[in-house]
Structure 1
């Protein structure tokens, strides 16, 4: 039994946080503009090289992204890994010697939309069929099990695990009552209920990582 990944969605149906542990195929980086900044370095779109057009003097009437337009096309700044983050390859030689793990066929923004769509559809179906206010907490397939914990403020904590894992709703509640409240809600530097930025905080990520790795179901 093991835990694969964690998603957090806000009340605007937007993924504001992502973290994974035992995924055999990591998601592809999202397309530019597909996700909010500060969701996770692992799935942030990679910037274009700053010198990709260096030495080229060709201009086209269709080219509106010129250096005189005042638009920042790309920023070539290295991303320093924080606790629980993926480290970027230090050199081209090391990348060839240690190839990165394979990725899934979907970009992360498409994957997040599918995860949220499944949650919304199943939750609505359960409420309609049951005829009463019954909660949707998890479902299982042959390859994974999805666990859901929804807060009163509309945040949805979603965790994917091995299909044989018992309910992890209490773990999601611990993440909310512990690291999330301590390092996100009570942090004056974190803008809550924002449509412009995620909630990737190094202390929240490190404490969530420590909490999950301390579970008995985590090998």
Structure 2
């Protein structure tokens, strides 16, 4: 069981954070810090790639379809779905930030983990950070989350999970 990727999209459909985890010794070292216990992988390298745009499109389409299948009186939420050999876990905050984890198929639903990432780490290190932008732009310096503390703490939290 493995976590492969972690994505955050803002309310304007922009990928503002992308973390890919390398679970093999040949992986590219992390750029988040210079310590020897960093998790291998890439940070914010594929924010503008077609794969992140396709992922957002799939989630948007599935969420729209699932909402149209039920009557208006019931609450219907897309939490996870399988796609080939991967399972995609999804959480959307009230402010329309979308948190996505991509794992192996065997992993149980991770909505509580995604809520924890939002409520404990995103709120604390991004939203409440006075130096962080209120709105993320499509390009430029404020187009993605580069907060080292946020990256470090989310990596520690995800690494502490038994599925990592």
Q: Which has the higher contact order (CA 8 A, sep 6+)?
A: 1
Higher strand share: 2
Shift of 1:194: 2.2
Matches of residues 134-149 of structure 1 in structure 2 within 5 Å?
Answer: 134-149=76-91
* Equivalent residue number for residue 69 of structure 1: none
Shift of 1:178: 1.2
* Equivalent residue number for residue 4 of structure 2: 4
* Equivalent residue number for residue 82 of structure 1: 32
TM-score by length of 1: 0.61
Extract unaligned runs of 5+ from structure 2: 25-29
Shift of 1:141: 2.7
Aligned equivalent of 1:129, options 63, 69, 93: 69
Aligned-residue Cα RMSD (Å) equals: 2.4
Question: For 1:18 and 1:107, how far apart are their aligned partners in 2?
Answer: 6
User: What secondary structure does 1:12 align onto?
Assistant: coil
Shift of 1:22: 3.8
Extract unaligned runs of 5+ from structure 1: 25-41, 43-80, 89-105
User: What secondary structure does 1:19 align onto?
Assistant: strand
- Alignment size in residue pairs: 146
Aligned equivalent of 1:214, options 157, 160, 164: 160
Question: For 1:108 and 1:194, how far apart are their aligned partners in 2?
Answer: 14
User: What secondary structure does 1:130 align onto?
Assistant: coil
Matches of residues 105-116 of structure 1 in structure 2 within 5 Å?
Answer: 109-116=49-56
* Equivalent residue number for residue 14 of structure 2: 14
User: What secondary structure does 2:130 align onto?
Assistant: coil
Question: For 2:80 and 2:89, how far apart are their aligned partners in 1?
Answer: 4
